[in-house]
Amino acid sequence: MRYISTRGQAPELGFEAVLLTGLANDGGLYVPAKLPVFSAEEIASWAGLGYAELAQKVILPFVEKDISADELKTMINATYDCFKHPAVAPLVQLGHNEWVMELFHGPTLSFKDFALQLLGRLVDYILAKRDQHLVIMGATSGDTGSAAIEGCRHSQRVKLFILHPHDRVSEVQRRQMTTLLGDNIYNIAVRGNFDDCQRMVKQSFADQSFLMGGQLGAVNSINWARIMAQIVYYFYAGIALGSPHRPVSFSVPTGNFGDIYAGYLACQMGLPITQLVIATNANDILHRCISNNQYAKQALVKTYSPSMDIMVSSNFERLLFDLYDRDGAALSQCMTRLSKDKVHALDPKRWHRARQLFDSCRVSDVETCDMIREVSQQYRYLLDPHSAIGVKAARQCRRNTQTPMITMATAHPVKFPAAVVKSGCQQPAMPDHMADLFEQPESYQVFDNDLTAVQSYMTTSVRSQ
């Protein structure tokens, strides 16, 4: 598979190179030059496959030439064997045609594990093949950090630096990162917000001289391999509920647009999806764009769903690329305007095209807690705040009740006890494998919002071993 940049100027790359790269060197994001498309017969033949078996079918075309089917199978099996539920991504029914897909049975209890546990193995495999080492730097609003650390902590070839905003992640989230010790893992708490952390990562990628010749790799949500791994569970859900004979719809708690973009790709690859609902919290740039065609940055708001507290959604560019008929030059112009103008509208024709598949909904903190309480009373089922936003948006936006509507439950409620308690619900018990989380020693360094200080810490740490 070859990969091209959304801005049309960067060199085409194969899977290996794309896996280790962040942004393309023209500022764009890598996407497959041509998506694989599966026929209805082929999808029908996958009925009854286990999660790992299905993952092999869906992922193989994206890595072909670089990774053999057998090697891929070994990595996929090892990845999903670490999940704590035999179905890996079980479906739970709430109301009539109303479903929740639990994506939080991985080692760190959020859907980020689906991609990052595999990514860690893929990166290690390729570094070993090339006999290379890599410094990985990433920013997290909470869940990516622990999933990436878990995915990389056994690697002999990776040093991982994870930046999180100091005092702005939940205590469970922080401890999940800072108690996972490995001598190749460095936790950096920045006195600032997630965007400050993200900016430091971007600037470090733009000028890597502080590493004295070392190479920087990315695990952030623009990493293509993460998107790729997330396509699988859309097929898994659809097939379980009758696809390809029966269409399905999804509601996805959305921040950087990575998860729901994977759903869009599943649709392009042959899964009959009627509707994709973008569920946002008060940080609603995508909701304003989809509902009113107004794309405008606003100040960041702190909410009960911190993993969705972002100002701009980086993966949205990948959807825009298709809406602009994969014309890199036209998209480049569009992206320049989006970043310069206060308010920007998409070309109406392209906006309407997006609206054929996408709907959107903004859900406030109060509505989030109401939804946690309501679903708990109706069905004795406890949602985390992100998933509650998804269910609320699904109910609000669904176009018809004949089509199964599946909300992606992106995190386990135990990660976000504040919202659960606020809703008047009982705090859930910590899963067994994390029972001693609050007793373990933590390791992290706090830094001011100062790039030079962070980089010199990185340089010293990389050289010290």
Ligand X SMILES: *Cc1c(COP(=O)(O)O)cnc(C)c1O
Is 21 a residue that touches ligand X (CB under 6 A)?
A: no
The residue ranges of DSSP E strands in 110-242, in sequence order, are 134-139, 158-165, 185-190, 216-218
Binds ligand X by CB under 6 A, chosen from 192, 217, 253, 263 = 253
When the beta carbons of 83 and 125 are compared against ligand X, the nearer one is: 83
Tokens of 79: 């990845």
Q: What are phi and psi of 408, to 5 degrees?
A: -80, 115
Which CB atom, from 192 or from 253, has the smaller least distance to ligand X? 253
CB atoms within 10 A of CB 342: 6
Parallel, antiparallel, or unpaired: how do β-strands 98-102 and 91-93 relate?
A: antiparallel
Which residues in 348-377 contact ligand X (CB under 6 A)? none
Judged by phi (left if over 0) then psi (alpha if -120 to 50, else beta), residue 212 lies in left
Minimum gap (Å) between residue 417 Cβ and ligand X: 14
Among 66, 113, 124, 259, binds ligand X (CB under 6 A): 259
How do the residues of the chain divide into helix, strand and coil, expressed in percent and rounded to 5? 45, 15, 40
Which CB sits closer to ligand X, 414 or 451? 414
Taking only Cα atoms into account, the Rg of the chain, rounded to an integer number of angstroms, comes to: 21
Instruction: State which residue, 144 or 455, has the beta carbon closest to ligand X.
Output: 144
Pick the piece of the chain touching ligand X (CB under 6 A) from 257-265, 366-374, 441-449, 457-465. 257-265
Q: For ligand X, which is the closer residue by CB, 80 or 261?
A: 261
- Binding to ligand X (CB under 6 A) within 140-159 occurs at 143
Burial of 441 (0-12, 13-18, 19+ CB in 10 A): exposed
Q: Are 225 and 22 in contact (CB under 8 A)?
A: no
Told to check if 110 binds ligand X by CB under 6 A, we report yes
Distance in angstroms (rounded) separating the CA atoms of residues 143 and 176: 9
Residue 307 CB, shortest distance to ligand X, in Å, is 3
* Residue 254 within binding range of ligand X, rule CB under 6 A: yes
Q: Could you say whether residue 176 binds ligand X (CB under 6 A)?
A: no
Min. distance of Cβ 409 from ligand X in angstroms? 9
Binding segment for ligand X (CB under 6 A), chosen from 58-66, 159-167, 249-257, 292-300, is 249-257
CA–CA distance, 344 with 428 (Å, rounded to integer): 43
Report in angstroms the alpha-carbon separations of 212 from 22, 25, 215, 216, 459. 19, 20, 9, 11, 8
Q: x/- string (CB under 6 A) for ligand X, residues 267-286?
A: --------------------
Considering only the stretches 36-44, 125-133, 252-260, 423-431, report the one whose residues sit in contact with ligand X under the rule CB under 6 A: 252-260
209-228: contacts with ligand X (CB under 6 A): 221
Q: Which stretch in 117-125, 178-186, 247-255, 358-366 sits in contact with ligand X by CB under 6 A? A: 247-255
Single residue of 173, 178, 198, 256 touching ligand X by CB under 6 A:
256
Minimum CB–partner distance for residue 198 and ligand X (Å): 12
From the list 112, 159, 392, 415, the catalytic residue is 112
Minimum gap (Å) between residue 226 Cβ and ligand X: 8
Establish how many alpha carbons lie within 13 A of residue 49's alpha carbon, considering only the half-sphere containing its beta carbon.
21
**Per-residue x/- mask for ligand X, residues 78 to 107, rule CB under 6 A?**
------------------------------
Tell me the two tokens of residue 241.
């509920």
CA distance 2 to 353: 26
Angstrom distance (rounded) from CA 191 to CA 256: 22
Query: Which residues ranging from 402 to 461 are in contact with ligand X (CB under 6 A)?
Result: 410-411
Helix and strand counts by DSSP (H, E) for the chain: 18, 14
The yes or no reply on residue 307 touching ligand X (CB under 6 A) is yes
Binding residues for ligand X, total number by CB under 6 A: 16
CB of 278 to ligand X, least distance (A): 9
CB of 386 to ligand X, least distance (A): 4
Range list of β-strands (E), 90-234? 91-93, 98-102, 134-139, 158-165, 185-190, 216-218
Give the phi and the psi of residue 359 in degrees, each rounded to 5: -125, 170
- Specify the 3-state DSSP secondary structure of 186: strand
Nearer to ligand X, 271 or 308 (CB): 308
Contact 223, 22 (CB under 8 A): yes
> Per CB under 6 A, which of residues 183..202 are in contact with ligand X?
none
Cα distances from 419 to residues 28, 98, 112, in angstroms, run: 36, 23, 20
The separation between the first and the last C-alpha atoms of the chain, rounded to the nearest angstrom, is 36
Minimum Å gap between C-beta 50 and ligand X is 25
Nearest residue (CB) to ligand X, 159 versus 164: 164
Q: Does 308 bind ligand X (CB under 6 A)?
A: yes
Is residue 108 at the binding interface for ligand X, with CB under 6 A as the rule?
no
342 annotated active-site:
no
d(CA 311, CA 35): 29
For the bound state, the minimum distance from the C-beta of residue 313 to ligand X, rounded and expressed in Å, comes to: 7
Catalytic residues, by residue number, are: 112
Q: Which residues bind ligand X (CB under 6 A)?
A: 110, 112, 143, 221, 253-259, 307-308, 386, 410-411
